[in-house]
Homo-oligomer: A and B are copies of this chain.
Amino acid sequence: MKNFEFHNPTKIVFGADTVARLSTLVPHDARVLILYGGASAEKTGTLAEVRAALGQRSVQEFGGIEPNPSYETLMRAVAQVRSEKLDFLLAVGGGSVIDGTKFVAAAALHDGEAWDIAERGGANIAQALPFGAVLTLPATGSEMNSGGVVTKKATHDKLSFRSPLLYPQFSVLDPSKTFTLPAKQVANGLVDAFVHTTEQYLTYPVQARVQDRFAEGLLQTLVEIAPQAVASPDDYETRANLMWTATLALNGLIGAGVPQDWATHMIGHELTALYDIDHARTLALVLPALLDVQREQKRGKLLQYGERVWNITEGSDDERISAAIAHTRAFFESLGIPTRLSAYELGQEAVEAVLKQLAAHGMTALGEHRDIDLARSRLILEAAL
B residues less than 8 Å from A210 (CB atoms): 217-218, 221, 241, 244-245, 248
B-contact 0/1 string along A210-228, CB 8 Å cutoff:
1001101110110011000
Main secondary structure, interface of A, reads mixed
The residue that A14 contacts in the complex, of B220, B241, B257, with Cβ under 8 A, is B257
B residues less than 8 Å from A5 (CB atoms): 11-14
Copies of this chain held together in the complex: 2
User: Which residues of A in the span 140-156 have a Cβ within 8 Å of any Cβ on B?
Assistant: none
User: Which residues of A in the span 251-287 have a Cβ within 8 Å of any Cβ on B?
Assistant: 253, 256-257
Q: How far is the CB of A173 from chain B (nearest CB, A)?
A: 10
B residues less than 8 Å from A13 (CB atoms): 5
The residue that A8 contacts in the complex, of B8, B248, B256, with Cβ under 8 A, is B8
B residues less than 8 Å from A6 (CB atoms): 11-12, 14
B residues less than 8 Å from A3 (CB atoms): 14-16, 18
B residues less than 8 Å from A12 (CB atoms): 4-7, 256
Q: How far is the CB of A256 from chain B (nearest CB, A)?
A: 7
- Give the CA-CA distance A323 to B240 in the complex, in Å: 32
User: Which residues of A in the span 1-34 have a Cβ within 8 Å of any Cβ on B?
Assistant: 1-16, 18
Given the interface contacts A1-B237, A4-B14, A12-B7, does A213 sit within 8 Å of B218 by beta carbon?
Answer: yes
Q: How far is the CB of A153 from chain B (nearest CB, A)?
A: 37
- Give the CA-CA distance A218 to B213 in the complex, in Å: 8
B residues less than 8 Å from A217 (CB atoms): 210, 213-214, 216-217
Chain A residues in the interface with B (C-beta under 8 A): 1-16, 18, 207-210, 213-214, 216-218, 220-221, 224-225, 237, 240-241, 244-245, 248, 253, 256-257
Is A244 within 8 A of B1, CB to CB?
yes
Q: How far is the CB of A209 from chain B (nearest CB, A)?
A: 5
- Give the CA-CA distance A188 to B271 in the complex, in Å: 53
Q: How far is the CB of A67 from chain B (nearest CB, A)?
A: 26
Q: How far is the CB of A110 from chain B (nearest CB, A)?
A: 25
Given the interface contacts A209-B225, A241-B207, does A14 sit within 8 Å of B214 by beta carbon?
Answer: no
Is A224 within 8 A of B209, CB to CB?
yes
Which B-chain residue is minimally distant from A6 (CB atoms)?
B12
Given the interface contacts A218-B213, A221-B213, A237-B207, does A15 sit within 8 Å of B4 by beta carbon?
Answer: yes
Can you name 29 A-B pairs with beta carbons within 8 Å?
Answer: A1-B14, A1-B241, A1-B244, A2-B15, A3-B14, A4-B12, A4-B15, A5-B11, A6-B11, A7-B9, A7-B12, A14-B256, A14-B257, A15-B257, A207-B237, A209-B224, A209-B225, A209-B245, A210-B217, A210-B241, A210-B244, A213-B213, A213-B214, A213-B216, A213-B218, A214-B214, A217-B217, A244-B257, A253-B253
Which B-chain residue is minimally distant from A9 (CB atoms)?
B9
Q: A1-B14, A210-B245, A244-B257 provided; 14 other pairs, C-beta below 8 A?
A: A1-B15, A1-B240, A2-B15, A3-B15, A3-B16, A3-B18, A4-B12, A5-B14, A6-B11, A14-B256, A210-B244, A213-B214, A213-B217, A214-B217
- Give the CA-CA distance A2 to B244 in the complex, in Å: 12
- Give the CA-CA distance A221 to B11 in the complex, in Å: 28
- Give the CA-CA distance A11 to B9 in the complex, in Å: 9
B residues less than 8 Å from A4 (CB atoms): 12, 14-15
Q: How far is the CB of A289 from chain B (nearest CB, A)?
A: 28
B residues less than 8 Å from A253 (CB atoms): 253
Q: How far is the CB of A144 from chain B (nearest CB, A)?
A: 9
Q: How far is the CB of A69 from chain B (nearest CB, A)?
A: 27
- Give the CA-CA distance A257 to B247 in the complex, in Å: 14
